[in-house]
Each structure stands twice: as C-alpha cells, then as structure tokens.
Structure 1
Amino acid sequence: MSVVAFPSQPDPTSFPGTAGSTTAAAVERFLESRTAATTRAGYAETLTRLTAVIGPQHPVAALQPEHYAAVMDRWKAAAAATWNRHLSALVSFTTWAQRQDLLVTNPARRLERRKSARRGDRAIPATRLDKLFTDPAHALRERVFWRLLYDTAARAEEILTLNVEDLDLEFRRARVTSKGGALEYVHWATPTARILPRLLAGRTAGPVFLADRRAPTSGPRAPAAADVCPVTGRGRLSYPRAEYLFKTTSAQLDPHRQGWTLHQLRHSALQHLAQAGRTAPELQAKSRHQHLASLGRYVRLGEETSARITAEADPAQRRRAR
C-alpha cells in the first residue's frame, strides 16, 4: 500500500518566470503595458506606494495580503470612490502578474470594495463656482485648471495629462486620451480662452499644468522625460496634489466645510447643461460617454432646480408673470 503525501503549499518562486522578478520590475512592466496615459498615471500612484511599502527588491512572487493591506491603509479614511480606485489598481496589477506567471496567489483576496454613499445632488451651485474661478486670491494655475475642467466637462486625468502640443487655441479645443484609450477632442468657452495663454506664457511643449518645484533628474522619484517641462524643468502636476488643492480651497465655500472633488466639476458642468435644457444626445457628445444610460446621474436635475420651481410656485409671491 503506497502512501501519498498531502501536497504542501507551493513555493511561488519555484514557478516558471517568477525567479528573480522583483516587484519594482514587475510594476514597471505592467505600467508600460497600459496604453492609456490616464490609466497608467492613475495606477502609478498606487503601485509606487506598493513598491515603497515592501521595498524595490521584494520578489513579486512573495506578495502577501498583508502587503496589500499596508498599501491600502494609507486610504482607509478616504472616500469610498478613492478607496475603490486604488484597490482596482492593485487588482489589475495582480491579474496581470498572474497571467505572466509572476504571481500564484491573490494578495488582494482579503480586501473588499466599499459601497459609495448615494448623494442627492453632487452639482456645485454655479454662483459658488464663479467665485472659485474668478477670485484672484487663488493661483492662476488652479483657476485655469478648474475653469478648463468645468468648460470641457472632461475627466481630471484627461486634463492633467495634456501637453501644450495637444492644445488648439484657435479653435478652443484640445486632444485628449479618453478613458478607453481613444483620441478625442474637448472644447472650452471664452472664460478659459481668456486666461489659458497667460498660464502657458509662451511655452510650446511639455505639460500644460506644472508642479510647483523642479522635477528630480535622477533617483526613484525622477519622472519620465515627457512629464517634464523643457523650459522650466518642472514636472507635471499630479492628481493627488490637484485634488488636495481644490478640496481645501473649496471647503471655504462648501456649507458642510468638507470641500468638493475634481470630479464634481465634470458632474456640475453636465448637470448645469441639463438644467439649461440640453438633450441627452447633446450631453453625450459633451461628456463622451459611450452609452446614454451612463448619463442618468447627470441629467437628473437636483437641488437648484428644486429651489427654483418651489420659488416660482410659491403662492405668496407678490408679482406673477402675466
């Protein structure tokens, strides 16, 4: 009678293609495989955090749930959307690594997506937006960025990855790489057209929106050459920094003192257009959503409309339109 030993837990480093593969090298390969610049930039923030937590020489095959938990601990107090965005980056990296035979286990198996709290109206009142856009106390870069986001109703990542070469100032449009990787155009109005050239200050190449400091030329924090202005040496403004500045600044106008998110500028632009009577196909052309069903939350008229129709129907009005 033969006795078959119960199989022990497999050693990840014994699988083909895993030996000698560091997490840093795997992350670099994974990011290079992402064709959409906006997706690549979003994933880079999360995966840079992963490399910093475990060290650049840590074998990718030895990644464990506690490593991912330590990465996500940074965003444990963040909004559900932020938590889910970073978790999606880890899950995408894990799926890719498993397909490449670099990783056997699933280090993300103990982490769960969070359910976003539903809010009745995410649109920012137009009068408060006007204060943000025109207040000279705010830096020119921020005022241009916020106004451009609102005018174009684009995603923040799409605008942050713009280069000067992508701008068509004459026709008030810019070529962006959309969420799915397609090249599309977004358009802005007169308020943006008046202040955008001041921000560029004669620059003809490099990122449109620059960080406050010069980018390091070497070391782990050195950005790609395409993300550095050839004139000033400053790097591209990052999404976390742009979000922080908008949230802290807008907290002064938010009645709840929590501040608003960059995505709410896109939401506000589309909802304000819906309130002005624009049709769903027109909103789809502006937002570049692939499906009309995705516009449902934008075309749902909110608090401003409720206040207006309540006032118009108030029986105590002294004057009524004849």
Structure 2
Amino acid sequence: MTDTSRRLAAVDARAGVRIAEVLAQYLRRMAGKRGRSGRITSPQTIRAYTSAMPIAFAGLTVVTELDTDAGRERVRMNVRTAWGSKAPATFNAKRAAVASALAYFATEGWITDPHAVLAGLDREHQPKPDGNRVRSREAIDRLIGDRHHSLEDRTLWSMAYATAARAEELLRLDVGDLDRANRRARTVRKGGKIDELMYDIRTARLLGQLLAGRGAGPIFLSRRVAPDDGTVAAGDVDPVSRRRRMSYRTTERHLGAATGGWDPHDLRHSRLTHAGEDGATEADLMNLSGHEDRRTLQRYLNPSKDGTHRRLDDIDAGRGVARPDRPDLPFRPVVRLALPSADIEKPG
C-alpha cells in the first residue's frame, strides 16, 4: 500500500472526527511543544493560537471537510474576513498559525493536502524594519508637537509612545474606556487579556482637546464616514459625526508619511528602551508593555547609543570632566588617589 493510500484509509477511518476535537488536540500539543531553543511555547502564543483557531475554522463540523473545495474556501474566507484588513505582520502571523494546525492535521492523517487549504492565500509582503527602531526623544517630541499634523494623529502618537501599547490596543479604545482623572485606559491586550494602559500629562491634554464634547464612540476616528446600511458595526462608528474607527493601515500610512518611514511599533519600542535607560525596573517595563514573558522583553532592554552617550556624559559631569554642551558645569580635574604600598598586591 502506498503512503497516499494509507493516508486516505486513515482519513476514511476518522471521517467523523469533529473539528473541535482536533483543534483541542492540536492546542494541547502546542502547549507542550519545545522550539529550537528548547523552550516550551509561551502562554502568550498559546492564547493567541487558542483565540485564532475557532475563527479560522468557523463553519466546519468535521475535519475531512478540509479535503473538499467548499471546506477549503470556507477557511480562506474566514482568514481573509478576520485578518485581511490587519497589518501584514498580523495577517502573516495568523496565517502561519492556521498553516501550522493544518500541517499537524496532515501528520495525524486527518487530511490529505494541507497546502491546498490555503492555496491562493499567500503571505503579505512585510517590509523589513529599520535595524534601529529606537527613535530619539527629541524626534518624537518634534513629531507630536508639529501642528502641521492632525490633532487625531498627534494624540494617537503621543498615547502610543506614553503607554508603549501596540497600535491595535489603542485603536480599539472607546471614550468610555478612559479613566481621565487617573490617566488610565482600559483595553484588551494581545491574547485577550484585559489591562490598563498608563499615559502621561501631555497625552491627557491632547485627549482633552480631541474629545471635547464627545461622550461615546471610538476615541480615534478616520476621516471616512460610515454608510448607513449596517455594514459597519455600530460600536465602530462615532454616534454624532458617523466617522468610522481608525484602522491600523491608516495609522501606519499617516505615521510613515509624517516621518519618512517610521512604523507604529517604533513608538512602543522607543518608549520601553527610553524607560529602561532612565532606570525603570523589569517589573515596571512589563507593567507598561503588557508583556508576561520576560524573554520577550529582552529586546527592549538594550540601551540606544544616544542613551549610553547621555549617561556617560552625566557620569563624566559628576566626576568633574568638562562638557562642551554644559559650560556652566565647573571643571574639576579628576584626581587619582595612590594606594598605600601595603595595599598593593605584588605580582606572585
């Protein structure tokens, strides 16, 4: 019997296996799987996969439907509908999760051709980010303070930097999610966790200007007005102006145009790096960013060149070394104290 014949026989034997059962088995396997580094899949990844699987396979009852044209088209439609309008990185991550599940189904003999399910649904082009994603504090301040840009954009950029939140976590905010007295905002983090974002006074002032007279609806709005035909969810429309909730693509486009290529994640990366440079503890950074796994936080703990240079200048100033940019600081020559001869360790 050929390999194909064996696999078909296995599929026939499991024709009644329900999608819910195979998804549960797949997720259990993922929870105990070790990657190339030897580490078990993080809880954050498991939560992301657990939330994505029911969406991708919605409308299917038994696993062998994935070997039919109708079943395959159903999965492709689900993926396009749920994540087709998201950022390329998000779409590619969700598609990869679905592809991983399909590969597992094939290994177990439940389906015959995992690649056929996502045929025609290719990965989206994802430009490689600038190697240095940490933007200077001065450049960020200039961006937020530049009134040539809309108040909507400047408020979003200020909040993105202050909270170190992902753009998606900010764009889903409604006016009712704000605790303006305490400068907090309640959002849903990546993976579905409810959390509070913390923002600064500058952002609070911009929000006050942006939301003047508004008591409900999305905080960040696009310029597009929603049609009155029910195709846009009521929660994504401002009840007064009928403007739609701002999308990630719009956010990405506006920021890129204003900066010559920055990505929304650059503001998050910069904030966490700057906070680390200023002495924030690892626990502080996890509270700020929403990370639950210390390993994923490590990329933000490397100081930028500007940060290191600034700290070294401050150290030199404390030691009395003259600084060209601070002529007001008195110059005190550094005196090296000689150790008493008795304290000097003689070579052996």
User: TM tier, shorter chain?
Assistant: 0.5 to 0.7
Q: Quickly say closer, same or farther: Cα 1:316–1:194, change in 2 above 3 A.
A: closer
SS in 2 for 1:157: helix
Equivalent residues in 2 for 1:103-252, closer than 5 Å: 105-107=113-115, 108=118, 121-218=132-229, 222-251=231-260
Q: What's 1:299 paired with?
A: 301
* CA RMSD of superposed structures (Å): 4.5
- Contact 2:174–2:217 (Cα < 8 Å) also in 1: yes
User: What does the per-residue CA deviation read over 1:189-224, in whole Å, with 9 as the maximum and x for residues that have no partner?
Assistant: 1101111021112111111001102112337xx221
- Contact 1:159–1:176 (Cα < 8 Å) also in 2: yes
User: What does the per-residue CA deviation read over 1:14-33, in whole Å, with 9 as the maximum and x for residues that have no partner?
Assistant: x7899xxxxxxxxxxxxxxx
- Contact 2:7–2:112 (Cα < 8 Å) also in 1: no
How far apart, in 2, do the equivalents of 1:294 and 1:88 lie? 16
SS in 1 for 2:257: helix
Q: Quickly say closer, same or farther: Cα 1:152–1:317, change in 2 above 3 A.
A: closer
Query: Number of aligned pairs?
Result: 265
How far apart, in 2, do the equivalents of 1:267 and 1:186 lie? 16
Q: What's 1:265 paired with?
A: 267
- Contact 2:322–2:331 (Cα < 8 Å) also in 1: no
How far apart, in 2, do the equivalents of 1:9 and 1:218 lie? 48
How far apart, in 2, do the equivalents of 1:121 and 1:202 lie? 40
Instruction: Output the amino acid matched with 1:164.
Output: V
Give the unaligned 5+ runs of structure 1: 19-34, 45-57, 76-81, 252-258
- Contact 1:281–1:292 (Cα < 8 Å) also in 2: no
Give the unaligned 5+ runs of structure 2: 19-46, 57-68, 106-110, 333-348
How far apart, in 2, do the equivalents of 1:125 and 1:241 lie? 24
SS in 1 for 2:197: strand
Q: Quickly say closer, same or farther: Cα 1:205–1:94, change in 2 above 3 A.
A: farther
How far apart, in 2, do the equivalents of 1:301 and 1:224 lie? 43
Over the matched positions of the two proteins, sequence identity in percent amounts to 31
Q: Quickly say closer, same or farther: Cα 1:17–1:265, change in 2 above 3 A.
A: same
Q: Quickly say closer, same or farther: Cα 1:174–1:118, change in 2 above 3 A.
A: closer
How many Å apart are 1:121 and its aligned residue?
Answer: 3.1
How far apart, in 2, do the equivalents of 1:209 and 1:292 lie? 31
Q: TM-score, normalised by structure 1?
A: 0.67
Q: What's 1:287 paired with?
A: 289
How far apart, in 2, do the equivalents of 1:143 and 1:86 lie? 26
How far apart, in 2, do the equivalents of 1:161 and 1:151 lie? 17
User: What does the per-residue CA deviation read over 1:151-210, in whole Å, with 9 as the maximum and x for residues that have no partner?
Assistant: 111111000000011011111110010112111101111101111021112111111001
